[in-house]
Structure 1
Amino acid sequence: MTETGNGRVGTGRRRRGARGERLMVERAEFTSYYGRPILKEPTWSSVDIAGYFFLGGLAGAGSVLAAGAQLTGRPATARALKTSSALAIAGSAAALVHDLGRPGRFANMLRVIKPTSPMSVGSWLLAGYGPAAAGACASALTGRLPRLGTLATVGAATLGPAVATYTAVLAADTATPAWHDAHRHLPFVFAASATCAASGMALVASPVHEAGPARRAAVAACAADLAATEMMTKQLGLVGETYEQGKAGRLMHTARILTTAGALGAALLGGRSRTAAVLGGAALLAGSALTRFGVFEAGVASARDPKYTVVPQRSRMASRSEETDPAASA
């Protein structure tokens, strides 16, 4: 109900052009049934799915760097990254299958292809990328079939960026606020984090004289990771709290420290010291892993608290109402 300027009591609805009205009843605050969550928390295992996110990113970005290393005449780096990518994608697939419960469930996803389904597209990406990464690795380690190995390297590098980032699209396709509302920024966060991991692996496994591009990639990826995460958190508004508080906040904060320390150590000391290069690379790998676990925990926290569902929804509804009825905001 509202009270008009002449003292009359009317309904809460406002006429176009009406002035001098004020609410007599406080606006209702968000609530849910006995304070219970509105959304069901993700049932995925944090170790399986966050590990799946991380290993897929390491594999995809690693294949891109491996192709670059081969093209620029850095055989030890190329061999190391091809091997790590093959092992990482095998671990990523194993984590996914373990969470699904039965290997047959993954095979069933290949019976059809749905371009509108991130899970379907991702399954086919893994099915195409896995053999390419394995072929590139086998050729690099044995020295046999170099032409087929080169073709496999190119194929893995072509699919690598999609493999590194499709999991962000998969998460954002859910109703979980911290993931869904971040759909514009989450792929960039995953891409930058994956590049941090791949450059870190190159620093750990490559000789110092071949790791110059990896050091430069680490610095660029670190800057992109920090910027993308900051932009995502600010754009989320209230929901961004889930990335800054609680378990997710601690994981994301530690990830930023490790990523920054790893990139700075690699840039300043990695070109002169093998030990510094290894430590910097390990910090980059750990920072990338913690970023994925932080993103996972933020999603769980946002689904658990109903305010992260209700308050943003009401804010969007109010914004649309003001756009369609300017008098409502007067």
Structure 2
Amino acid sequence: MGDHKGGKERKGRKGRRGEQLMVPEAEFTSYYGKPILNPPTWQARDIAGYFFLGGLAGAGSVLAAGAALTGRPRMARALKISSLVSVSGSAAALVHDLGRPERFANMLRVFKPTSPMSVGSWLLAAYGPAAGAAAVLDVGGRLPRTGRAATAVAAALGPVVASYTAVLAADTAVPGWHEGYRELPYLFVGSAAAAAGGMALIASPVAENAPARSAALFGTALEGVAVRAMERRLGVVAETYREGTAGRLMRAAEALGAAGSLGGALLARRNRTAAVLSGTALLAASACTRFGVFHAGMRSAEDPKYTVVPQRERLAAREPRQTQG
């Protein structure tokens, strides 16, 4: 019986000598139709909000430092305040998802360089006070040297704050996130830069918003390139970014981002109303991107196809190399 079964299995596959497929591949099913993976229990409001607000905070700190260095004090102050509010909201969303505040404190008891969650917790613990000091000291007009140092620290940590959540998501087994590990950090940085540019367009005077317009164009372009590259490389898993709730959100993000960045570049340099509308569109685009990525990941975890097909493709790609070896 064992030999007979093994013979059937060998006939059912394309062997080393190039035999043709004799029986169809097995369906990708699981026990009682259950998902192969246990989908995360994360809520969109908490985790996608955590992604969005963290990105806005980190990129905002970088843009605030640049504004301060180039003589744009009102833009710098507005972005420092925005970053403080955003990182506070991001931390609140994370704590709400964890269920109890002490769980966040417990993550700071040990530092694990191999754990994105551990590194992220320590990163927030370092970035939050720096962003807070930069904003409070600027508004209060006190301790200017300390304020400049806090601004510099927040700006140095800002890019990591904006992108580490992509590493956190890609480190899971969720196919829509794990398979996109190469492009997700660029996607998150682009989305964050566009959001910070949008916030600066809303909150700063027209005379100071040139860096905001540049950040919006850069961020929108980087996000678009990253999305296209990820969809080309992900194969069947890219369906989760094109269809359903995630697909609608990603298309909305693309349209809003294009409208916001072009409106900012062409109209916001002269018209305050256009600057506010463009900035609002950019913030909405960034939020749509983060929620779209979240929903794409959740759908990929629920359907066995998005786990099984990539595994089969990797195995099929290895077979010729093993035969040659």
TMscore range, shorter length: over 0.9
Q: Distance in 2 between matches of 1:310 and 1:14?
A: 18
Question: Which residue of 2 is the match for residue 230 of structure 1?
Answer: 228
Q: Return the offset for 1:28.
A: 2.2
- Is 2:204 the partner of 1:206? yes
Contiguous gaps of at least 5 residues in structure 1:
1-8
Q: Return the offset for 1:22.
A: 3.0
Q: Return the offset for 1:74.
A: 0.3
Question: Which residue of 2 is the match for residue 103 of structure 1?
Answer: 101
Task: Give the TM-score taking structure 1 as reference length.
Answer: 0.93
- Is 2:281 the partner of 1:283? yes
Task: Label 1:10 to 1:86 Cα distance change in 2 as closer, same or farther (>3 A).
Answer: closer
Task: Label 1:125 to 1:15 Cα distance change in 2 as closer, same or farther (>3 A).
Answer: closer
Task: Label 1:142 to 1:314 Cα distance change in 2 as closer, same or farther (>3 A).
Answer: same
Could you give the per-residue CA deviations for residues 200-257 of structure 1, whole angstroms, max 9, x where no partner exists? 0000000000001111111121111111111111111100000000000001110111
Question: Which residue of 2 is the match for residue 215 of structure 1?
Answer: 213
Q: Return the offset for 1:160.
A: 0.4
Q: How does 1:258-277 map to 2 (within 5 A)?
A: 258-277=256-275
The sequence identity of aligned pairs, in percent, is: 65
Match of 1:181 among 155, 165, 179: 179
Question: Which residue of 2 is the match for residue 28 of structure 1?
Answer: 26
Q: Distance in 2 between matches of 1:99 and 1:23?
A: 48
Q: How does 1:129-140 map to 2 (within 5 A)?
A: 129-140=127-138
Q: Distance in 1 between matches of 2:282 and 2:228?
A: 18
Task: Label 1:132 to 1:11 Cα distance change in 2 as closer, same or farther (>3 A).
Answer: closer
Question: Which residue of 1 is the match for residue 61 of structure 2?
Answer: 63
Q: Distance in 1 between matches of 2:89 and 2:179?
A: 29
Alignment-mate amino acid for residue 113 of structure 1: F
Question: 3-state SS of the aligned residue for 2:124?
Answer: helix
Question: 3-state SS of the aligned residue for 1:39?
Answer: coil
Question: Which residue of 2 is the match for residue 6 of structure 1?
Answer: none
Match of 2:91 among 73, 86, 93: 93
Q: Return the offset for 1:297.
A: 0.2
- Per mean C-alpha deviation after superposition, the further-off stretch among 154-163 and 316-325 is 316-325
Q: Distance in 1 between matches of 2:235 and 2:130?
A: 41
Q: Return the offset for 1:27.
A: 2.7
Alignment-mate amino acid for residue 247 of structure 1: T
| Greater Rg over alpha carbons, structure | 1
Alignment-mate amino acid for residue 45 of structure 1: Q
Q: Return the offset for 1:98.
A: 0.6
Match of 1:146 among 127, 144, 147: 144
Q: Distance in 2 between matches of 1:191 and 1:22?
A: 47
Q: Distance in 2 between matches of 1:15 and 1:252?
A: 41
Alignment-mate amino acid for residue 103 of structure 1: P
The CA RMSD measured in Å over matched residues stands at 1.6
Alignment-mate amino acid for residue 143 of structure 2: L
Q: Return the offset for 1:183.
A: 0.4
Question: Which residue of 2 is the match for residue 45 of structure 1?
Answer: 43
Q: Distance in 2 between matches of 1:101 and 1:36?
A: 27
- Per mean C-alpha deviation after superposition, the further-off stretch among 25-34 and 105-114 is 25-34
Q: Which has the higher helix share?
A: 2
Alignment-mate amino acid for residue 175 of structure 2: P
Question: Which residue of 2 is the match for residue 249 of structure 1?
Answer: 247
Alignment-mate amino acid for residue 79 of structure 2: L
Question: Which residue of 2 is the match for residue 4 of structure 1?
Answer: none
Q: Return the offset for 1:14.
A: 7.6
Question: Which residue of 1 is the match for residue 167 of structure 2?
Answer: 169
Q: Distance in 2 between matches of 1:131 and 1:24?
A: 65
Task: Give the TM-score taking structure 2 as reference length.
Answer: 0.95
